[in-house]
């Protein structure tokens, strides 16, 4: 029996298999509101046969968007627009849907990737960015505003309010975005956090804000509701955030009731040196799983069915999370099931598409 296609339970949420569709920014919202594009995008992914679908990084306040076109969940208007998109998707799919809540910090206020991705001027629709310290991200001419203690407390509440909206929307899980150089990661890494107060300096201090956000979100949702986090296991920069610090952070999260950890890497500094290759980030997921026993998600150039099966079968991680590969092949789980002798559940409208040589693919 394929381990990749075995079920798994997170809290009261049971997933049909271990394939997760990772959050993928679409840069297609209007003032934080989901649009018809999200219905199309999420709709076809929800028919893919994966076990869990995560919405893209969703900002908890307008200043937390990466670009002016990012999805948000900070108002009744953004909640209503997302409710409309989710209703359309759920009308034709019972796939569990989670949300990634985040804040871009100093990496905010940039153009869409296909428009160059550079920092937007204040006269170009950009805004003043926020960060633990007034240290600009590489290539950004405008430095961020260093958050005050009062502003940090306000942001913690913004995450909690977005979590309450997520529950009201009927979403099935929350993943906090603590990776890829965004705000929570900026507090964790000594490369971006130069503070000299209770939120900077020692590892304990640098973890204080991300842990406060986790605690607030956990308190805002039902006790059985899965709340996890995506982390960068390393900055891939000497003197930055690394796997040893990640393990300490993971243990602190475990003590606070974390449901899962999604282990990625990099994104904080242009000086990063990443040893790219198939499954290159899986060892970090394995280290977190071995140290804490927490359910882990592995990411990073996972493209083949046998590769994903091996990750799950050897216990390196409990889930594989696919992003670009799923955009390229939205039926990746179907094809993996065919290769591994497993089954998937298609919509009734697609039952006739089962190849003759794969008579058991659709169960």
Known catalytic residue: 199? no
State the pLDDT confidence band at 354, using cuts at 50, 70 and 90: very high
pLDDT tens digit sequence for 231-270 = 999 999 999 999 999 999 999 999 999 999 999 999 999 9
The distance in angstroms from the start CA to the end CA of the chain is 14
pLDDT digits (tens, 9 = 90+) for 27-48: 999 999 999 999 999 999 999 9
Q: Are 105 and 62 in contact (CB under 8 A)?
A: no
User: Taking the domains of the chain in order of start, what are their residue ranges?
Assistant: 8-353
- 287 to 50, 223, 270: CA distances (angstroms): 25, 27, 25
Is a pLDDT exceeding 90 seen at residue 358?
Answer: yes
When pLDDT is averaged across residues 54-73 and rounded to a whole number, the result is 98
Percent of the chain with pLDDT over 70: 100
pLDDT tens digits, one per residue of 75-95: 999 999 999 999 999 999 999
CATH of domain 8-353: 3.20.20.70
Among the listed residues 145, 38, 160, the one whose alpha carbon sits nearest the alpha carbon of residue 88: 38
Tell me what the mean pLDDT of segment 214-219 comes to: 98
User: pTM to 2 decimals?
Assistant: 0.97
Strand, helix or coil at 314? coil
Q: What pLDDT shows up at residue 337?
A: 98
Alpha helix stretches (DSSP H) within the chain: 36-45, 76-90, 149-168, 183-188, 203-206, 208-220, 243-255, 282-292, 305-313, 324-328, 332-340
- For residue 363, what pLDDT is reported? 82
Express each pLDDT in 2-31 by its tens digit.
Answer: 999 999 999 889 999 999 999 999 999 999
Q: What is the pLDDT of residues 300-353, one digit of tens each?
A: 999 999 999 999 999 999 999 999 999 999 999 999 999 999 999 999 999 999
User: Which of 182, 199, 280, 328 is labelled catalytic?
Assistant: 182
**Confidence band for 166, pLDDT divided at 50, 70 and 90:** very high
Q: Which residues on neighbouring strands pair with residue 10, listed in sequence order?
A: 13
Residue range 127-133: average pLDDT?
98
**pLDDT for residue 150 is more than 90:** yes
In the predicted model, what is the mean pLDDT of the chain? 97
């Amino acid at each position: 029996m394929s381990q990749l296609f075995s079920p798994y339970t997170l809290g009261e949420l049971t997933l049909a298999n271990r394939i997760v569709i990772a959050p993928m920014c679409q840069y297609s919202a209007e003032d934080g509101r989901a649009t018809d594009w999200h219905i199309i995008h999420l709709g076809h992914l929800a028919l893919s046969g994966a076990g869990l679908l995560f919405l893209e990084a969703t900002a908890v306040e307008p200043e937390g968007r990466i670009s002016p076109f990012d999805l948000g969940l900070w108002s009744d208007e953004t909640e209503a627009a997302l409710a409309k998109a989710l209703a359309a998707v759920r009308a034709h799919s019972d796939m569990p849907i989670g949300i990634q809540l985040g804040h871009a910090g100093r990496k905010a206020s940039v153009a869409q990737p296909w428009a160059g991705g550079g920092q937007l001027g204040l006269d170009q629709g950009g805004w003043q960015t926020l960060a633990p310290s007034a240290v600009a991200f590489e290539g950004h001419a405008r430095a961020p505003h260093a958050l005050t203690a009062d502003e940090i407390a306000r942001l913690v509440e913004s995450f909690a309010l977005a979590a309450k909206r997520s529950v009201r929307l009927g979403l099935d899980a929350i993943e906090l975005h603590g990776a890829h150089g965004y705000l929570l990661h900026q507090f964790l890494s000594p490369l971006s956090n130069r503070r000299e107060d209770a939120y900077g300096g020692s590892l304990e201090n640098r973890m204080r804000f991300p842990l406060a956000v986790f605690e607030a979100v956990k308190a805002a949702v039902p006790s059985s509701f899965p709340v996890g986090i995506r982390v960068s296991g390393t900055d891939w920069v000497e003197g930055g955030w690394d796997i040893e610090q990640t393990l300490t952070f993971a243990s602190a999260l475990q003590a606070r009731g974390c449901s899962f950890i999604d282990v990625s890497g990099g994104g904080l500094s242009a000086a990063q040196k990443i040893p790219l290759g198939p499954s290159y980030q899986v060892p970090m997921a394995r280290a977190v799983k071995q140290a804490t026993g927490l359910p882990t998600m592995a990411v990073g150039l996972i493209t083949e069915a046998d590769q994903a099966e091996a990750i799950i079968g050897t216990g390196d991680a409990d889930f594989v999370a696919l992003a670009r590969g799923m955009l390229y092949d939205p039926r990746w789980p179907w094809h993996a099931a065919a290769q591994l002798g497993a089954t998937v559940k298609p919509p009734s409208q697609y039952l006739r598409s089962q190849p003759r040589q794969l008579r058991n693919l659709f169960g």
